[in-house]
Structure 1
Amino acid sequence: MALKILHTADWHIGQSLNGWSRTYEHQQFFNELEELIDAHEVDALVVAGDVFDNQNPSAEASQMLYEALARFHDKRPHLVTVLTAGNHDPAGRVEAPGVLLQKIGVQAVGMVRRQDGSLDLSHHLVPLKTSDGEVKAYALALPFPRTSDLPGLSFSTTVEGSPVVRAVAELYEAAVSQVRAAIGDLPLIATGHLHVAGGLESEGAERRILIGGEHAMPWEQFPDDLAYVALGHLHKPQKVGKETIRYSGSPFPLSVTEQHYKHGVNLLSFSDAGVLSIERLGLHRPVAFHRLKGDGGLLLEELVPELEALGLDSALPVEQQPFVHVDLRPQVSASGLKAEVDQILAQYPVRSAGVSVLRPQTQAPISAEAESLIRLSEVQPDELFKSAFERVHGIEPDAKHLDCFYRAIAEAEVE
Structure 2
Amino acid sequence: MPRFLHTADWQIGRYYSRFDNDDAVALAEARYTAIERLAQLAVDEQCDAVVVAGDVFDAQTVSDRTIRRVFNALAAFEGPWVMLPGNHDAALAESVWTRAQRLGAVPGNVHLALAPGVVELPEQAMVVLAAPLTQRHTHSDLTEAFDQWQTAPGLIRVGLAHGSVQGVLAEGIDSANPIAPDRVERARLDYLALGDWHGVKQINPRTWYSGTPEPERFRNNDAGVALVVDISGPGTEPIVTPHRIGQFEWVQWREHLSVPTDLDQVLTRLDELEAPAVLDLRLTGEVDLAGERRLLQALSVAEAKHRSVQCDRSGLSLQPTDDDIAALNADGYLGDVITELREQQASDDGARALPARDALALLTGLLMDRSGANASAADGNGTRVSGEQPS
Corresponding residue for residue 183 of structure 1? 152
Corresponding residue for residue 271 of structure 2? 311
CA distance in 2, matches of 1:293, 1:32: 32
CA distance in 2, matches of 1:31, 1:98: 21
CA distance in 1, matches of 2:191, 2:154: 14
Corresponding residue for residue 358 of structure 2? none
Corresponding residue for residue 72 of structure 1? 77
Corresponding residue for residue 212 of structure 2? 250
Distance change (3 Å), C-alpha of 1:109 and 1:355? farther
Determine whether 1:143 maps to 2:132: yes
CA distance in 1, matches of 2:134, 2:264: 48
Amino acid at match of 2:97: V
Deviations 1:167-212 (A, max 9, x none): 32xx4333441x31x53563211111101124445x9xxx93654x
1:325 aligned residue (266, 280, 304) = 280
2:44 aligned residue (22, 39, 42) = 39
Corresponding residue for residue 278 of structure 1? 239
What stretches of structure 1 of length at least 5 have no aligned partner? Answer: 74-78, 114-118, 151-163, 314-319, 333-340, 359-395, 400-415
Deviations 1:265-313 (A, max 9, x none): 222223356634322232144124333333xx45799779735753389
How far is the alpha carbon of 1:25 from its aligned partner?
2.3
Distance change (3 Å), C-alpha of 1:225 and 1:34? same
SS at match of 2:239: strand
Corresponding residue for residue 389 of structure 2? none
Corresponding residue for residue 126 of structure 1? 119
CA distance in 1, matches of 2:98, 2:113: 6
CA distance in 2, matches of 1:103, 1:310: 45
How far is the alpha carbon of 1:398 from its aligned partner?
8.3
Mapping of 1:97-116 within 5 angstroms?
97-98=100-101, 100=104, 103-110=107-114, 113=115
Paired residue total: 297
How far is the alpha carbon of 1:263 from its aligned partner?
3.5
1:208 aligned residue (173, 177, 193) = 173
SS at match of 1:251: coil
1:96 aligned residue (95, 99, 115) = 99
Is 2:32–2:70's contact at 8 Å kept on the other side of the alignment? no
CA distance in 2, matches of 1:41, 1:257: 31
Is 1:236–1:261's contact at 8 Å kept on the other side of the alignment? yes
Is 1:266–1:279's contact at 8 Å kept on the other side of the alignment? yes
Corresponding residue for residue 12 of structure 1? 11
CA distance in 1, matches of 2:299, 2:64: 32
Corresponding residue for residue 202 of structure 2? 239
CA distance in 1, matches of 2:281, 2:55: 28
CA distance in 1, matches of 2:257, 2:243: 32
How far is the alpha carbon of 1:56 from its aligned partner?
1.9
Deviations 1:336-378 (A, max 9, x none): xxxxx999957732424575999xxxxxxxxxxxxxxxxxxxx
SS at match of 1:265: strand
Is 2:156–2:233's contact at 8 Å kept on the other side of the alignment? no
How far is the alpha carbon of 1:5 from its aligned partner?
0.9
CA distance in 1, matches of 2:105, 2:118: 16
Is 2:191–2:238's contact at 8 Å kept on the other side of the alignment? no
Is 1:299–1:328's contact at 8 Å kept on the other side of the alignment? no
CA distance in 1, matches of 2:193, 2:213: 15
CA distance in 1, matches of 2:228, 2:6: 6
Corresponding residue for residue 85 of structure 1? 85
Is 1:82–1:106's contact at 8 Å kept on the other side of the alignment? yes
Corresponding residue for residue 393 of structure 1? none
SS at match of 2:219: helix
CA distance in 2, matches of 1:303, 1:98: 56
Is 1:141–1:190's contact at 8 Å kept on the other side of the alignment? yes
Amino acid at match of 2:156: P
Is 1:292–1:306's contact at 8 Å kept on the other side of the alignment? no
How far is the alpha carbon of 1:72 from its aligned partner?
2.3
Report the structure number with the largest CA radius of gyration: 2
What stretches of structure 2 of length at least 5 have no aligned partner? Answer: 288-294, 316-347, 352-391
Aligned-residue CA RMSD in angstroms? Answer: 4.0
Deviations 1:239-282 (A, max 9, x none): 11x21111011113211114x62642222223356634322232
Amino acid at match of 1:97: A
Deviations 1:9-41 (A, max 9, x none): 111122234232313422442332222111211
Corresponding residue for residue 405 of structure 1? none
Is 1:250–1:263's contact at 8 Å kept on the other side of the alignment? yes
Determine whether 1:174 maps to 2:145: yes
CA distance in 1, matches of 2:105, 2:82: 11
Deviations 1:34-68 (A, max 9, x none): 22111211111000011122332244532331111
Is 2:113–2:132's contact at 8 Å kept on the other side of the alignment? yes
CA distance in 1, matches of 2:136, 2:230: 34
TM-score for both structures, normalised by structure 1: 0.59
SS at match of 2:59: coil
